[in-house]
């Protein structure tokens, strides 16, 4: 597993940062779909974004980034779990142009960040419009509006390589009184990073090249991986919710009911026996089977 997020902290200064690379997860997700390169790049940037955002959370949460628009890109949905799992999906209308500002790819789009605590705590959602020409700029706007923390974000994805970097100015503390220029210096140094460097250099090398004159504390890397949460049981529950009449109509027309997961494209097929069992009174089923007698 090569997908890792590296966190770092400026000693004696209220500045923290993260660098992430997600080549394996990005490749595992995009090879299951047939999107054009411009959409794949947005998926890669979204994966890097949720990994960076998830690493800033103090408690175990699921984090979802959702971009909705009128088109050509209609939907980008990317999720990160506190266990390091990642998944993503996209839906398009017309062809999504490459190398144009994101507000031309996702016309009249909005960006929502949703945080769902795994245990105690309230669900949180922040919504901002797209601005600044990129997903990274939209995330900076989100932090400015929702967190009131000065934050810079760089995202890059190309040909199986997805990466991102975040630096953030934390609320002032007594320990940082002697280095009032740390944030301005960190911002200026980080701004020299290029997309190819972010994708191709190891995260530790990125941090060393940018901040080699700073006193930096490095933390243990955080692993990420692609993992979809779909299952036959969840799909069956969804089909039951659609109702018996609709399932039987589909069965009569198609000979079976087939559903593909939007995230991993895994096919789930249900034949006449499966549908019969799905809508039969459980009391008439055998104890160890969904099939009816």
Choose the final residue of a domain: 209, 226, 243: 226
Over residues 51-93, the pLDDT tens digits come to 999 998 888 889 999 999 987 999 999 999 988 999 999 999 8
CATH code for position 248: 3.90.1280.10
> Is residue 124 scored above 80 in pLDDT?
yes
Same domain, 210 and 273: no
| H helix intervals, the chain | 23-30, 37-54, 102-105, 135-142, 182-190, 195-200, 203-211, 232-242, 244-254, 272-278
Over residues 144-194, the pLDDT tens digits come to 888 788 999 999 999 899 999 999 998 876 544 557 789 999 999 999 999
Determine, yes or no, domain membership for 93. yes
Residues shown for the chain: 293
Same domain, 116 and 58: yes
Determine, yes or no, domain membership for 291. no
The whole domain housing 36 covers 4-226
Same domain, 249 and 188: no
- Where is pLDDT greater, at 262 or 247? 247
- Over residues 94-123, the mean pLDDT reads 89
Same domain, 218 and 266: no
Same domain, 207 and 271: no
Same domain, 100 and 166: yes
Q: Kindly report the average pLDDT of the chain as a whole number.
A: 87
- Where is pLDDT greater, at 211 or 243? 211
Same domain, 153 and 258: no
pTM, two decimal places: 0.84
Determine, yes or no, domain membership for 293. no
Q: Measuring CA to CA, which residue among 67, 207, 71, 185 is closest to residue 134?
A: 67
Determine, yes or no, domain membership for 277. yes
Using 50, 70 and 90 to split pLDDT, how confident is the model at 252?
Answer: confident
Determine, yes or no, domain membership for 290. no
Beta strands 61-68; 73-80: pairing state: antiparallel
> Is residue 232 scored above 60 in pLDDT?
yes
Same domain, 219 and 236: no
Same domain, 123 and 238: no
Q: In total, how many domains does the chain have?
A: 2
Determine, yes or no, domain membership for 289. no
> Is residue 224 scored above 50 in pLDDT?
yes
């Amino acid at each position: 597993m090569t997908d890792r997020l590296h966190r770092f902290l400026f000693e004696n200064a209220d500045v923290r940062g993260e660098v992430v690379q997600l080549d394996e997860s990005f490749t595992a997700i995009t090879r299951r779909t047939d999107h054009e390169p411009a959409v794949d790049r947005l998926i890669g940037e979204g994966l890097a974004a949720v990994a960076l955002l998830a690493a800033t959370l103090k408690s175990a949460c699921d984090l979802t980034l959702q971009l909705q628009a009128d088109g050509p890109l209609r939907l980008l949905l990317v999720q990160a779990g506190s266990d390091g799992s990642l998944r993503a999906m996209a839906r398009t209308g017309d062809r999504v142009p490459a190398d144009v500002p994101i507000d031309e790819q996702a016309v009249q789009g909005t960006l929502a960040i949703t945080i769902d605590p795994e245990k105690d705590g309230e669900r949180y959602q922040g919504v901002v419009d797209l601005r600044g020409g990129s997903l990274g700029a939209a995330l900076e706007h989100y932090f400015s509006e929702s967190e009131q923390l000065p934050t810079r974000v760089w995202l890059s994805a190309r040909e199986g390589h997805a990466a991102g970097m975040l630096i953030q100015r934390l609320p002032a503390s007594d320990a940082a009184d002697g280095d009032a220029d740390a944030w301005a210096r960190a911002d200026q140094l980080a701004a020299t990073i290029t997309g190819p460097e972010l994708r191709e250099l190891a995260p530790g090398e990125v941090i060393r090249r940018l901040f080699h004159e700073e006193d930096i504390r490095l933390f243990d890397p955080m692993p990420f991986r692609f993992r979809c949460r779909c299952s036959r049981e969840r799909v069956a529950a969804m089909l039951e919710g659609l109702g018996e009449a609709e399932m039987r109509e589909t069965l009569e027309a198609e000979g079976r009911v087939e559903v593909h997961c939007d995230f991993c494209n895994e096919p789930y097929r249900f034949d006449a026996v499966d549908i019969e069992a799905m809508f039969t009174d459980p009391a008439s089923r055998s104890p160890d089977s969904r099939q009816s007698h």
